[in-house]
Structure 1
Amino acid sequence: MPVFLTMCRSLVVGILCVFALSLSAQVPASRATVLPPLPNPAWLAQLIQSSPVLRQHTVGVCLADAATGQQVFGLNEDRYFTPASTMKLFSLYAGLHLLPDSLPSLHYIVRPDTLLFWGTGDPTLLHGDVPSARAFNFLLHRPEKLVYAPVPCVNAYGPGWTWDDYNYYFQPERGPFPIYGHTVRFYARAGQPTPRVVPQFFKPLTQPAPAGLPNPEHDHVHRQELGNRFLVFPFTNNWVDETPFRTSSALLLQLLQDTLRRPIVPAVLRLRPQDSVRVLRGLAVDSLYRRMLRVSDNFLAEQLLLMCSSALRPDSLNTARVIQVMRRRYLQDLPDAPRWVDGSGLSRLNLVTPRTLVALLFKLHQEVPEPRLFDLLAAGGRQGTLRRTTYRDARGPWLWGKTGTLTNNHNLCGYVRTKSGRIVAFSFMNNNHVAETSTIRKEMERILIQVHERL
């Protein structure tokens, strides 16, 4: 019997060895091949420092091997820069850690004859670009009386935002229960006296601008600062304009009732011990992440942090709470602590070093499958804010990244696939430049092409 058992054991071991060898033979070459360490590109410092375009402003560059995190190049990489919209990568990282696979559309409690609901910050309700009908259909078909309870939320504008950008599409107000993306869309067609207005609720509040009214910014539509009156300037061609509207709980109720065509009663949120708070799930999170990162949507980024806040505590929405949790739980190992105050990067109070951005890119590359991660980002010559660049070849894009632009600041960070097959995480930051942004963009392109070809 012992001899028989020994033979069985030997047979099993032999089968397992053959199986293991067959599996190892199936490992893709790209994973089985270990590339040698990246060389230090000393030529890159000379390329940057000799550039007449980059000479008169502050430049910070950092490169690291995305597979190991090893830094291979740095120039002013430990100095703090205004990051602009590259801060959206921090918002993405918060969403990945604090939200499940689908967005929280709203919180609600069912009582005998009442549905009490309140916002989570989900921006997709009737949004023009990432629309969701989940909350709309839910509220439309509930048999109970609808009662809306506003919850404490952050200010409409973030700290350090530019107040006189209130009229522009890129700075809608933040809020706990957004509808229509907090913007009015105007569709003008040549030969028609007035544009089409969406939502139509604002059509009676829209009128032609008085003759002779100055229009120094060449706006299509101008909204009064503290109200919701919209002036449309004369037009002879087709255009589409998005203008933020001024938000309030009262206006939200009007818009919801006008859209749902059923009454909604306002109330104060008071939770009872027996209440069971439920969450209505909406769109897949990548639908929001993709739009936020590819086209650098500020509103989606701000609302993303509010949704993260609702996941931590459903009865209030607080951006600072999310930032504090992320710094304490997930970002303690960054080289330099970022100064992080909003979700979009609109604030000039945000400050980040190039090597910290690269460290964040390394964490993302480690935690998110590469195909998914690259699909969320703008891609060279293909999509988003990088669609008009030449960061691509016959095989497709070789650079995926996130741009960040404010007046006199233009940054780019992301990943470069080099001709040798490596993935390099990089951050290229330009602050306080007086040259045209297009000039800075072309110079970065010239230098990053060298990184692609020579590393």
Structure 2
Amino acid sequence: MIPLPRRCPYRFSVCAPIIAVCLLAVSMPAAAAALATPGASTVAGLMAQIDARIGQPRFAAASWGIAVVSLDSGRALYTHRADQLLQPASTAKLFTAALSLSALGTDYRIPTRLLADGRIVNGRLNGSLILQGMGDPTLGAAGSGDWAEQLASQAAARGVRFVRGDLIADDSYFAGPSFGSGWEAGDLQSWFAVPSSALSVQENIVNVTVSPGRTPGRPARLDFSPAEARPDLVRQLVTSAAGTPNDINLYRAPGDDTLHAFGSIAADSTAQHFKLAMVDPALVAGMQLRQALKHRGIHLAGKLRVVHWPQGGSASHASAGMLGEVLSPALRDILQQGLKRSQNLYLQNLLLSVGARDQAIPTTGFSNTESRGIMALRQLLAEIGIPASASLIDEGTGLSRRNLVTPNALVRLLVYLAAQPYADVVREALPVAGVDGTLIGHMRRTAAENNVRAKSGSMAYVHCLAGYVTTAAGERLAFAIMLNNYDRPDDAPSIGSDVDEIAVLLANYRGRE
């Protein structure tokens, strides 16, 4: 069934009515506590303030790990179990960001190609059309919704009027499963764990609207957007009497294409909206292109086929001619969207893009695209000076609980990024406290507002924050604050506020050597 949001609950679509309440609960306790605490004027004073926060009895069974380093002097201002391996949640996206910037460059744009497997004679393609995805996670998202029309228009401009063969939607450029290593099976129908496909479209999300029937006892209505992404459906969802509570259940078993809709929706209920993972993004993309070809007057004699790994496909396209191409936004823009929103598809596809392009990585036997991307990441971290034992990353998003990182490794990565030519790209991509992204409701009315630029990470029992802050004395700091194994008591501050408070203490710090 649709799971309760264990990661970043205020971002889950069905919780939209309580977004404002959640954000207020997250930000206000941290603001109140920080305003009541004068900024420390010495390192010893800062250490005492942080120690007091993390030493509270409610954290007795939890694990804190913290590292704070000055970008100006290189000195460590504070450490607490900074070499302890902890689950990073979405702060792991910083590693993927560093890898993609290093391997691909800030201006790299990911192509999606339309290929002709045959000769074009008098407007007739004596072969098949191939829609080749190469990992663009933004295809069909805001700003690129007309991608199919663009490709169809380019094909028409090349004189194609009739296609004798099939339309093949091929996402086999990424060799490996469509989910990241360590992703939990129960998450795979959810909008935050969509398939990582080389031929992604509309962020691989299908929007589901559930509306009551005309009278109690009638079936409820289910609408899907995009319509092409409607899964096989077993409909047992009925309309109940007016005034009764809604009981809407949507369930798709891992590895199954069938969506089961059961329960009830009240006759007087407003429409209810949900977001689910698409079953087959490549098929949806193919259907959208087929419609665009028809709109452009290009007749397809064959059928729509989809090619997934391990069927192969991409390697056999070397002799095919290119009819058209659309390009993603520049990598800097993909990263900004991916980090601001903590968009898992964007970062996983970037990791896979590195793995698919970097054929110089030494391997023995078969290695999938994800593992090649991880090997490239390990090479980069070794160059930075981050020990392999300090960063155990298996995928590109932070969804996996097998990911383990030390606070020192995170801070060393941040220090490295701050010294690169693309340092400003990283800073601009990070959420800004109280201003945008996943930190829009955090640390307002504090010295951290519009100051802290950091990646947050949250899942059940895990709360992390890693990024940059400028102190009250003007010193630039890199920090990683990681809280694991914490089960919040009912009377304790809301989720994330404890981590926020430490960031505010850093912003308040008035000392400087």
- 1:79 paired with 2:79, answer no
Equivalent position to 1:361, from 414, 421, 442: 414
Match of 1:388 among 441, 463, 468: 441
- The partner residue of 1:234 within 265, 269, 272 is 265
2:16: which partner in 1? none
- In the alignment, which residue of structure 2 is the partner of 1:89? 94
Q: Distance in 2 between matches of 1:204 and 1:325?
A: 36
1:56 corresponding residue in structure 2 = 61
Q: Which residue does the alignment assign to 2:177? A: 155
Change (3 A) 1:375 1:53: farther
Over residues 239-282 of structure 1, what are the superposed CA-to-partner deviations in whole Å (9 max), with x where a residue is unaligned?
43211122276565445424554646657445487778897532
Change (3 A) 1:91 1:383: same
Quick one: structure 1 residues 139 and 102, their matched pair in 2 at CA, closer, same or farther if it must change by over 3 Å? farther
In 2, the alpha carbon distance for the partners of 1:318 and 1:438 equals: 42
How many residue pairs are counted as aligned between the two chains? Answer: 414
Conservation of the 8 A alpha-carbon contact between 1:169 and 1:242: yes
The counterpart of 2:134, out of the listed 113, 116, 120, is 120
Structure 1: tracts of 5 or more residues without a match: 1-37
Q: Which of 332, 350, 356 is the matching residue for 2:383? A: 332
Whole-Å separation in 2 of the counterparts to 1:331 and 1:237? 55
Residue in 1 that maps onto 2:36: none
| Amino acid in structure 2 at the alignment position of 1:443 | D
Alignment equivalent of 2:337, drawn from 291, 295, 300: 291
Structure 2 vs 1, CA of residues 93 and 207 (structure 1 numbering), >3 Å: closer, same or farther? Answer: same
Q: 1:420 aligns with which of 457, 462, 473?
A: 473
SS in 1 for 2:279: coil
Structure 2 residue 135 is matched with structure 1 residue 142: no
Aligned partner (choices 341, 346, 354) of residue 300 of structure 1: 346
Contact 2:194 2:278 in 1 (8 A): yes
Instruction: Flag the 1:175–1:370 CA change in 2: closer, same or farther, 3 A.
Output: closer
Cα deviation code 1:413-444 (max 9, x no counterpart): 11112111122111110111111696352222
Distance 1:408 1:176 in 2: 32
Q: Which whole-Å CA distance do the structure 2 matches of 1:209 and 1:272 have between them?
A: 44
Amino acid paired to 2:404: L
Q: Does 1:164 align with 2:164?
A: no
Q: Which residue of 2 aligns with 1:33?
A: none
Query: Does the CA contact (< 8 Å) of 2:229 and 2:279 recur in 1?
Result: no
Give yes or no for contact 2:205–2:276 (8 Å, CA) kept in 1: yes
Q: Give the stretch that moved more between structures: 316-325 or 386-395.
A: 386-395
Q: For 1:97-136, what per-residue CA distance to the aligned partner results, in whole angstroms no more than 9, with x for missing partners?
A: 2224143122565663365442211122223x57453465
**How do residues 161-200 of structure 1 correspond to structure 2 at under 5 angstroms?**
161-187=183-209, 194=221, 196-200=223-227
Check whether the contact 1:117–1:147 (CA below 8 A) recurs between aligned residues. Answer: yes
Residue 109 of structure 2 is matched in structure 1 by 103
1:312 aligns to what?
358
How many Å separate the matches in 2 of 1:92 and 1:230?
Answer: 37
1:72 CA drift (Å): 2.2
Alpha-carbon separation, structure 1, partners of 2:115 and 2:368:
18
Shift of 1:158: 1.8
Larger radius of gyration: 1
CA–CA separation in structure 2 for the residues paired with 1:451 and 1:394: 9
Q: Distance in 1 between matches of 2:179 and 2:356?
A: 18
Amino acid aligned to 1:112: R
Aligned-residue offset at 1:386: 1.1
Distance 1:425 1:154 in 2: 35
Residues 91 and 136 of structure 1: CA distance in aligned 2, closer, same or farther (over 3 Å)? farther
Q: Give 1:227 shift.
A: 1.3
- Does structure 2 retain, via aligned residues, the 8 Å contact 1:208–1:231? yes
Displacement after TM superposition at 1:212 (Å)? 10
Cα 1:71–1:176 change in 2 (3 A) is same
CA distance in 1, matches of 2:439, 2:395: 24
Cα–Cα, structure 1 residues 219 and 401, in superposed 2: closer, same or farther, change >3 Å? farther
Q: Where does residue 401 of structure 2 map in the other structure?
A: 348
- Are 1:341 and 1:349, in contact at CA under 8 Å, matched by a contact in 2? yes
Distance, in Å, in 2 between the alignment partners of 1:42 and 1:187 is 51
Corresponding letter in the other structure for 2:221: T
CA RMSD of aligned residues (A): 3.6
- Residues 212 and 271 in structure 2, CA contact (< 8 A), matched pair in contact too: yes
Q: What's the secondary structure of 1:158's corresponding residue?
A: coil
Inter-partner Cα distance in structure 1 for 2:505 and 2:376: 39
- Alpha-carbon contact 2:103-2:354 (below 8 Å) kept: yes
* TM-score for the superposition, normalised by structure 1: 0.78
Alpha-carbon contact 1:402-1:412 (below 8 Å) kept = yes
Structure 2: any 5+ residue segments left out of the alignment?
1-41, 215-219, 241-245, 308-312, 361-366
In 2, the alpha carbon distance for the partners of 1:136 and 1:57 equals 53
2:415 is aligned with what amino acid? Answer: F
**CA distance in structure 2 between the aligned counterparts of 1:371 and 1:76, rounded to whole angstroms:** 30
Contact 1:398 1:417 in 2 (8 A): yes
Residue type of the alignment partner of 2:138 = T
Deviates more, 1:139-148 or 1:86-95: 139-148
Give the C-alpha shift of residue 188 in structure 1.
5.4
Give the Å deviation of 1:312: 2.4
Residue 8 of structure 1 aligns with which residue? none
